[in-house]
Chain A
Amino acid sequence: MSDIEVRNLTKTYGTVTAVDDLSFAVRPGTVTAFLGPNGAGKTTTMRMMIEHVVPTSGSVTIGGRRYREIPHPTTMVGAVFDSSFHPRHSARDHLRIYAAMGGYPDRRVEELLDLLGLAESARRRTGGFSTGMRQRLNLATALLGDPRVLLLDEPGNGLDPEGMAWLRSLLRDLAADGRVVLVSSHALSEVQQVADEVVVIRKGRLLAAGPLRELLGTARAVLVRSPDAAELGRLLRRSTHPVEATGPQDLRVRGLDPAQVGDLAAAHGLRVHGLASEHSSLEQLFLDLTGDRTCA
C-alpha cells in the first residue's frame, strides 16, 4: 500500500487560500501528472505531502500514514523540489551525507551516480553544475532509499530533449515497477507522452482528475468551416452542444463527432466547407479546464 490520499486539504496564508478543500488520490503503477497554472498550489500541495508545509485543515496520507509516522520515510517517499545543494559539496559528498542520514550504504551512492550518468562528475562541486546535472542529482537523492513513492516537482526543468527522453523512460520504468509517480510539470506535451493519469488544479481547487485517455476523450472537438457559421452555431447551441466561434466562418463544437455535425447542417440546409476532428492534446484539455493561457 503506497497510495497517496489527499483529503479536503486546505492551506491558507493570511487571507490567501493557496489550496482549497482539495481531494484526490494517486495510485501505484501509474505516472500521474499534476497540472495547474502558476500559483495553482501544486508545490504547496506536494510539500504538504511530506509535511514541509503544515495544512490548515484536511490531511494527506501516504500508504495510510502521515509522512512523519512512516518508519524510515525515505524508503517510502523520495521527493524532488528546487535544487538544494551546498555549492561547495561534490555530487558524491552530497549523496554520501544523505545516504548516512537515511542509513543507506555508500555503494548505493555509487550505484545512483552510475544510474543517473553522474559518475564522471561525482567529484565536481555542485556549484558548477548545469541545470540538467542538478536535476539528475536531485533525482539521485530522491532515489537513495529506493522509495515506493516519488514526488517530482518540475523534474524536467532545464533538461535538453535527450534528457527529457531519458527522464520519460526513467519515470515509465519506475511506474512499471509498481511505484507511485506524481510529477508536476509545465511541459504539457512532454507529460502527455508519459502520464497515465492527470490531476488538474486551479486556484487550489480540483478541476479534473482521472485517466488521461478518458479526459482527452471528453475534450475531443470538431472543427467546422461554414459560410453559415452563425446560423449553425445558433442551431448547435439550441441543442445544448458547447460551441466556440474561432473565426467568422469557423466553429469548434464539442460532444458530437464530424458525421453528426455534417448531418445536422444538411438537415437544416446549411453549407459546410470543412469538417475535421481536432487532435486532442493535453495542452488543449489543460487550457479548456483552466481557462488560462499561462500554463505551468
Chain B
Amino acid sequence: MKPLLHAEFRRLLATRLWPTTLLVAALLGGGLVGVLAFAGPENFQPPMPGVHTEAGVRTVLGFLGFTSFVPAAIGTLAVTSEYRHRTIDCTFLFAPDRWRVLAAKLVTYGVAGMVYGLVLSATAAVALFGAAAARGVRLGLPAGTVIELLARVGVAMAAYTVLGVGMGALIRHQIAALCVVIGYLYGGELLLLMIPGVRELYPWLPGGATAALTDFTAVADALAEQQSSSPVHLLPPLAGALVMLGYAVLASTAAMVKPMRRDVA
C-alpha cells in the first residue's frame, strides 16, 4: 500500500492543480469570510444579523458550506482523470489489485481534503477575527466556538473530497461525474426534499449530514418553517461526519462491484 500512496501523492503534486486549489481555498476562506465580515451582514439587502450576534457569526461561517463543490470536484478528478487520459492502463499494470488503487486514492485525497479544509478554515479564521478587530466589533460567539465551527467546516471539506473520489470511481466519466456531484450539491438535494416524506430523511442525506457537521441549520430551519411542522432534528456532528464518510465508502464499494472491474480496452 505504501508504494501506491507514495505514487498518488506524487501524482497529486505533479501539476499546478494542487497549488491552485489551495489558492482557491485561501480565496474562498479568507476572501469570502473577510468580505462578508467587513461589509457586515447587517448591511446586506435584506439585512441579516451582524457578526456581533451568534446568528450573524453562524451565517457568515455557514457560507463556507456552499463552497464544498470545490473539494468534491477535486476528489472526483482523482479517478476520472485516469480514465480520461488513459493513465489507468499503466496504473492497473503496476497495481493489478484495483481496490488498492482506489483505497490509495481515498486516503491520499482524504489527506488532501484535510489540508484544503485547514487552509480554508485558517484563512477564514484570520479574516473573521481580523475583520472584527478592524471594525471594533466583538464577535457574537466565543473564539473557541468559532474555531470549533471552522474545524468542523474543515472536516466537512475533507469528507466531500473523499465522497468526490468515490463518485468519480463510480461514474468514471469526468464531465458526467462533475455534473452529478455539483448538480446534487446545488439543487439536486433541495429538489429531492420537495418529495413528500423525503424531508424525514434529510438528516441522513449529504446536505443534512454536512449541516450536522458544520452546525449550519438554515436549510433544516427553512424546511420546518415551510411545512410549519416540528423542526428537523439533525444528527450529532460526529454522526454527520460518519454519514458523509459512509456515503464515500458506499460509492467506492459500488464502484468496486462493477465500474472499476470493467475491462480496460
A positions within 8 Å CB-CB of B: 43-44, 47, 50-54, 67-68, 73-74, 77, 79, 81-90, 93, 96-98, 100-103, 141
Contact = CB atoms under 8 A, between A and B. Distances in A.
A13 to B, nearest CB: 9
Nearest 8 A-B pairs (CB), nearest first? A101-B7, A84-B86, A100-B7, A100-B6, A93-B14, A52-B264, A53-B263, A101-B94
B96 interface: yes
A74 B93 CA distance: 7
A101 B91 contact: yes
B96 A67 contact: yes
Given A47-B264, A68-B96, A74-B94, A97 B10 contact: yes
B15 A52 contact: no
Given A43-B265, A52-B92, A100 B87 contact: no
Main secondary structure of the interface of B (DSSP, over half): helix
Given A68-B96, A101-B91, A88 B3 contact: no
B258 interface: no
Nearest to B5: A100
A103 B87 contact: no
Contact of A85 (B17, B85, B263, B264): B85
A51 B96 contact: yes
18 contacts: A50-B96, A52-B263, A73-B96, A74-B93, A74-B94, A81-B89, A83-B86, A84-B86, A84-B88, A85-B87, A88-B16, A88-B17, A97-B11, A98-B90, A100-B3, A100-B7, A101-B4, A101-B6
A140 to B, nearest CB: 11
Contact of A44 (B3, B11, B265): B265
Contacts of B264: 47, 52-53
B96 to A, nearest CB: 5
Contacts of B88: 84
A42 to B, nearest CB: 12
